[in-house]
Amino acid sequence: MVSKEHVVWGYRLLLEREPESEAVVAAKAQCSSVSALVEEFLRSSEFRNKHPNLAVPENRWVMVEHPLGFRIWVNLADLAVSWAIMQGQYEPAEVAFVRQHVRDGDSVLDIGTNIGFFSLLLSKLTGPTGRVVGFEPLSFLYEAAIKSVEENQFVQCSIHNVALASQHGSAQLIYAPGSTNWGGAFLSFDGVGLPEHASVSVPVAPLTDFVSDFAARFVKIDVEGAEHVVLSAAQDYLHQHRPVVMSEIHEVQLKRVSGVTAFEYIGMMRRLGYRCFQLGTQGEIGRELTGQEGIGLASVIFIP
């Protein structure tokens, strides 16, 4: 986790000065990881002005052929997602689990689609007789994902430009302009953001609006802390269809967006008859979790 000392030394080493206030230090300490903090410094206009000779990633979309058998549009300025995809290093444990457990003909959900990597992988695995439904509220990511789906002619895959929540309406999607991590945007239902972040209003709706005729066997959900909000509003659906759920747990974001702890999130799923397991580095099922372990940030598997 990011500490205030990380922030202070980031200022000293990368910006060559002391931070201007304790408030700024506290705000930057909210970064999801030390890597995300470093990227924020490197992408800042102050760093670029001090070090004009250093290369800055170009904001340009390119099509790449992925070794898993599909083509995907990626952006050269997106270091955390696009570059990892191009290098074949994007979420290897999650990819391994999906490849082991999703089968031809399956119906699956991709909640938090981003530029579409998992929607494309799931479409490849489920084949023309399967069905993939994705959800991505940030318009430019949604548009890239749609272009990739069309490029691969995955007609069984549909993606909705909406954020899932517990009710209909709108919410603010908070993001950091110029960030090199395009997967870090999160929902704010009370309109409260973070310093040096921007926001955009996005439509929200419950999952049940989209799956009345859809019996999912597998669900992948990574929505930067809104996981509890999304799934708690779909408890009847989970109880009826019993899909395996692959979820991110980010304790800081869970509290910020859903207002719950990891223990409460896992407890809600436990009451639905799900057990929670840590995802191993090779995609294997690891130790069982209760949420009291101090998870921090982890990928987990909920098994009914």
pLDDT digits (tens, 9 = 90+) for 6-16: 999 999 999 99
Q: How many whole angstroms separate alpha carbon 168 and alpha carbon 171? A: 10
Q: What is the mean pLDDT of residues 266-280?
A: 98
Query: Percent of the chain, pLDDT > 90?
Result: 77
β-strands 131-135, 169-175 pairing? unpaired
State residue 195's pLDDT score.
Answer: 78
Q: What integer pLDDT is reported at residue 183 of this predicted model?
A: 83
Q: CATH topology for 61-303?
A: Rossmann fold (3.40.50)
Say what the pLDDT of residue 31 is. Answer: 87
Mean pLDDT to the nearest integer, 128-143: 97
Q: What is the mean pLDDT of residues 113-124?
A: 98
Residues contacting residue 223 through CB under 8 Å, at least 6 positions apart = 111, 112, 163, 164, 186, 187, 230, 248
Does pLDDT of 74 surpass 90?
Answer: yes
- For range 78-98, the mean pLDDT: 93
Euclidean distance between CA atoms 123 and 235, whole angstroms: 25
Amino acid 50: pLDDT: 85
User: What DSSP designation does 95 have?
Assistant: H
User: Is the pLDDT assigned to residue 56 strictly greater than 70?
Assistant: no
What are the b/e assignments for 107-128, b being 16+ CB within 10 Å?
A: bbbbbbbbbbbbbbbbbbbbee
pLDDT of 55 higher than 70: no
Q: What mean pLDDT is predicted for residues 286-299?
A: 94
pLDDT of 172 above 90: yes
What is the average pLDDT across 155-182? 91
The answer on pLDDT for 111 being more than 70 is yes
Domain coordinates in residue numbering, the chain? 4-50, 61-303
The mean pLDDT of 26-50, rounded to a whole number, is 85
* pLDDT for 130: 97
Range of weakest confidence among 99-108, 129-138, 186-195: 186-195
pTM (2 d.p.)? 0.83
Residue in 203, 81, 72 with CA at minimum distance from that of residue 144: 72
